[in-house]
Structure 1
Amino acid sequence: MAKRLLDRILVVDIEATCWDGTVPPGETNDIIEIGVTELDVATTERSGRRGILVRPERSTVGAFCTELTTLTQADVEGGATFAEACATLRTEYRSHERVWASWGDYDRQQFERQCRDLGVPYPFGTRHVNVKTLFSLVHALPRELGMAGALAHLGRPLEGTHHRGVDDAWNIAGMLADLLGAGRSTDRK
């Protein structure tokens, strides 16, 4: 069993090939960008804002996907393979030893599916934080909000481009930092 490191949380946001409507025959969602921001648990400081472009293996980036993410097929053609990107997470971020977080369960489920389908070792350990649910619970909301809606709820501007993994991970890490900080201030009372 891998040692669990609790010094940093890896905040991850992925973008994947997508279509407006039904998936074209013969194509499957592929991760095309992995955004990573490290969140220091002790200080709640964000660092390491990075986007790893991933070359899709079972689909292509179409017009709808480009409109949503700004990424084109040409952008991702020079990216890492999915296996290389997962290896980067393990070696450079020690992702298998750290808690990781994302906005909702889609990212976790897409990693699980794609790893299983392509025979790639899952890059993360067993500890995942669903920041979307946590945010909604802490703020006593009647329903979960999308990431942009949560930022609006806080009166905070979105930093960067929405639906770019590198920027969304940064924004999610900022909200998670607030949640961790709020928890600490109540512990001290």
Structure 2
Amino acid sequence: MESPLSLLNVIDVEATCWEGQPPPGAVSEIIEIGLTVVDLDKRERLAKHRILVRPRRSTVSDFCTELTGLTQEEVDTGVDFAEACRILVDEHRADSRPWASWGDYDRNQFERQCRATGTRYPFGQRHTNVKLRFTEARGLRRRPGMATALDIAGFPLEGRHHSGADDAWNIAALVLDLVAKGDWRRG
């Protein structure tokens, strides 16, 4: 039987974005949720998931497509934000399982979008900012981006940078590196 803290959800989101200011009335909305399940005891990445989310108040710009690879047509096949949050809870135990992300952007984006849409926040309180933990563990003066952190750790970037599913997978590799070096605190 798994211990309550042996599994960790690593989350990375992609959201609508623009080269400059958003068009009038548009707001940044989650369009992809990448999730990698990590078994901290076995020290392995177990599963890679991707949830596409249909934006309601914005569209995917050319800049956003160039950055993320996501198109409006692709995200139109996704679920609405409330359904994505339900999937996180029902299928990935997001409300009870500890979770982690690279920096606080993902946590803040979920909090903002949940407030704006009246959707129940899907996560519990046990969040780890992997960027901060990595920076402290390595004794770095500046907090690196995920791709730079992979270089520092000697790992390749697997997949496409700014793909939520691929970035969550890569962040999970950095989590496991922290675990292997004794620099990961559970909870």
Q: Do structure 1's residue 17 and structure 2's residue 22 form an aligned pair?
A: no
Whether the 8 Å contact between 1:53 and 1:76 is mirrored in structure 2 is yes
The CA deviation string for residues 1-56 of structure 1, in whole angstroms up to 9 with x for no partner, is xxx93121100000000011111110001100000000101011101101110001
Instruction: Indicate if the aligned counterparts of 1:61 and 1:73 stay in contact, CA closer than 8 A.
Output: yes
CA RMSD of aligned residues (A): 1.1
| 2:95 paired residue number | 96
SS at match of 1:111: helix
1:108-153 CA deviation, whole Å, 9 max, x = no partner?
0000000000000000001100000000000000110000010111
User: 1:66, 1:72 within 8 Å by CA — same for their partners in 2?
Assistant: yes
The CA deviation at 1:76 is: 0.3
Query: 1:65-89 CA deviation, whole Å, 9 max, x = no partner?
Result: 0000000000000101100100000
Gaps of 5+ in 1: 185-189
Distance in 1 of aligned mates of 2:5 and 2:116: 30
3-state SS in 2 of match to 1:23: coil
- Equivalent residue runs for 1:27-66 within 5 Å: 27-66=26-65
Q: For residue 123 of structure 1, give the secondary structure of its aligned residue in structure 2.
A: coil
Unaligned runs of at least 5 residues, structure 2: none
Q: By how many angstroms is 1:180 displaced? A: 1.1
Task: Give percent identity, aligned residues only.
Answer: 56
Q: Distance in 2 between matches of 1:163 and 1:76?
A: 15
TM superposition outliers: structure 1 runs of 4+ over 6 Å = none
Look up the match of 1:172. Answer: 171
Letter in 1 for 2:113: Q
SS in 2 for 1:11: strand
Deviation, structure 1 residue 95: 0.5
* Residue of structure 1 equivalent to 2:157: 158
Q: Which residue of 2 aligns with 1:187?
A: none
Match of 1:5 in 2: 4
Query: Please, what TM-score do these two structures have when normalized by structure 1?
Result: 0.94
1:126 alignment partner in structure 2: 125
Q: Distance in 1 between matches of 2:111 and 2:47?
A: 24
Figure out how many residues of one structure are paired with residues of the other and give that number.
Answer: 181
